[in-house]
Amino acid sequence: MGNLISVRPSRSKSVRAALLGAVAVAAAGAVTIEALPLSTEAAIAAAPVTSAGPASFADVVDHVKGAVVSVKVKIDATNVSEEGDAQPMPNFPKGGPLEKFFRQFGAPGMGQPFGDGEPHQRPHAGMAQGSGFFISPDGYIVTNNHVVEHAKDVTITTNEGKTIAARVVGTDPKTDLALLKVKEGSDYPYVSFASQTPRVGDWVIAVGNPFGLGGTVTAGIVSARGRDIGSGPYDDFLQIDAPVNHGNSGGPTFNAQGEVVGVNTAIFSPSGGSVGIGFAIASDVAKTVVGQLKDNGKVARGWLGVQIQPVSQDIADSLGLKDAKGAIVDKAEKDSPAAAAGLKDGDVITAVNGDAVSDSHDLARRIAALGPKKEAELTIVRNGLPQTVKVMLGSMSDDRQAKADATEQQPKDAMAKYGMALEPATAVEGAGKTGVVVAEVDPDGVAAQKGVQTGDLILAVGGKLVSHPSEVAAALDAAKADGKKSVLMQVRNDSGTHFVALSTQVS
């Protein structure tokens, strides 16, 4: 059994059979590329030779291969949902390549199962197979959560062929990591996590158990860093140009010094085999999670208690920010650490403890990594001015994851140039007593282009609360008069509260 994409694996056997295994690989050895001159032998001899990599990875492999193991798991399927084939599809972007992959290759409820090609059955027990690696001489082993999920019995096979029983110390589904401990022996060969993240273009080496073969070595380069593939709120994957195959899930990716830079967990493949797009959990994420699993058997994450969204260029322009970076607070939840610290709607969080925040996803990772009951200093921009706010983080529970009178209405044509017509919330049944309801939207208008929809409730414009269409129009006109290219509107709908930067450059 091997995994092709380990993001929120299905609990049905048919899909689970397709969700175990991934590793980063490419071609090892020297590659010589040279132009063929059209003249003399001397010119040929003088032609430059460019090496694409080291002549051999053998020394590194000899150093690390003893720490890599094969993991075999007997699954207790009585704990697997009987609605296995009806499990929801992972939350990939609609129409994106990963969604298309699942549709083509048997996502839950989305077509034929894939893997061994056998008809789907729901047994009381099954087998799963993956890879792992020792991180300490006393027998702690890192692997993927989806490899050992619902494990009844776990055994590992060392590079020398010895089979040893192991137990699950702890798992973290949010990052797809798990920690095992062998039940006997000590003084095992082990490897360490790298202290620095690799650069794009660095060579990497993987050792794993593809298709149950065991002890297979491959090599490639880091294609990208910080990949978010939609598997969870803390995605931070290395992308590797590697042929990744069934059975390598949970195996290590090494740098040229023999340090672990990633834990292989997923691939993208339209064909069912490797096309050179593999994903590995970054070592800094794995190191933090594994440390907590070892100490506590579970992972505790920090909680700020805000709804956030990334800062687009339009939002940055409307707030006078130099760069479109950071996370803007849509809403501070009631009785949350954010509310207690005084964070407000519209605040832009640009740094945590002095480290710059690139976007909302980055903020969620940083807050979670700090852990509960830790004080964090947030750098924010409020009303165009930078300031700092100190906040005592809470603990993230399992269910938390970083929703005027008509007679005073402005004439409809006052907002027509923006492509929408407005009504006071008080004039629309069920809309509440505050804000302005979007009654109509021109599908070709400026508002529609920014995602404004009929039924949206505009709460504030330019940082000021609004209750009547006239206030919305006045705020837009004032922003235009001040030379602002856009103005920030706080909007609420069924999806929650968010900000929209509406251009003022319309006539």
List the CATH number of the domain containing 418: 2.30.42.10
Set 12, 14, 70, 146: catalytic member = 146
Could you tell me if 291 and 315 lie in one domain?
no
400 within a domain of the structure (yes/no): no
Distance CA 186, CA 138 (A): 5
- Residue ending a domain, among 299, 333, 368, is 299
H/E stretch holding 479: helix 469-481
**Residue after which a domain boundary falls, among 255, 275, 299:** 299
Q: Is 146 a catalytic residue?
A: yes
Query: Is 111 contained in some domain?
Result: yes
The answer to whether residue 333 is domain-embedded is: yes
Asked whether residue 29 is domain-assigned, the answer is: yes
Select from 299, 318, 338 the last residue of a domain: 299
Count of alpha carbons within 13 Å of 492, Cβ hemisphere only? 17
Tell whether 364 and 484 lie within a shared domain. no
Say yes or no: 262 and 114 in one domain. yes
How far, in Å, CA of 418 to CA of 396, rounded? 41
Q: Does 36 fall in a domain?
A: yes
Give the domain CATH number at 59: 2.40.10.120
Identify whether 441 is part of a domain.
Answer: yes
Calpha distance 447→503 (Å, rounded): 8
Determine the structural domain holding residue 351 and report its residue range: 302-395
Whether pLDDT at 336 is above 70 = yes
**363-388 residue pLDDT tens:** 988 898 888 899 999 999 998 899 99
> Torsion-angle region of residue 190: left (phi > 0), alpha (psi -120 to 50) or beta?
beta
Rounded CA separation 2/210 (Å): 8
| 131 and 9 both lie in a single domain | yes
Confidence bin at 441 (pLDDT 50/70/90)? confident
Is residue 176 among the annotated active site residues?
yes
* Distance separating alpha carbons of residues 73 and 369, to the nearest angstrom: 30
Q: Which of 228-232, 331-335, 415-419, 421-425 has the lowest mean pLDDT?
A: 228-232
pLDDT higher than 80, residue 496 = yes
Same domain for 221 and 188: yes
Own/partner pairs, 321-328, CB within 8 angstroms, 24+ separation: 321/348, 321/381, 325/350, 325/356, 325/357, 325/358, 325/359, 326/350, 326/357, 326/358, 326/359, 326/363, 326/381, 327/357, 327/359, 327/360, 327/362, 327/363, 328/360, 328/499
68 and 86 both lie in a single domain: yes
Domain check: are 260 and 358 in the same one? no
Same domain as 224, residue 366: no
Q: Who wins on pLDDT, 464 or 190?
A: 190
What is the number of structural domains in the chain? 3
Co-location of 30 and 145 in the same domain: yes
Clarify whether residues 284 and 332 are in a common domain: no
- Catalytic residue from among 176, 235, 236, 314: 176
Across the chain, mean pLDDT equals 75
277 and 323, same domain (yes or no):
no
Which is the catalytic residue, given 249, 360, 467, 486?
249
pLDDT at 38 over 60: no
51 catalytic residue (yes or no): no
**Which tokens sit at 409?**
């209405």
CA distances in angstroms from 426 to 49, 218, 420, 470, 474, listed in the order given: 76, 65, 18, 14, 19
pLDDT over 90 at 428, yes or no: no
**26 secondary structure, DSSP code:** B
Flag whether 430 is in a domain: yes
Mark whether 222 and 348 lie in a shared domain: no
Whether 273 is covered by a domain: the verdict is yes
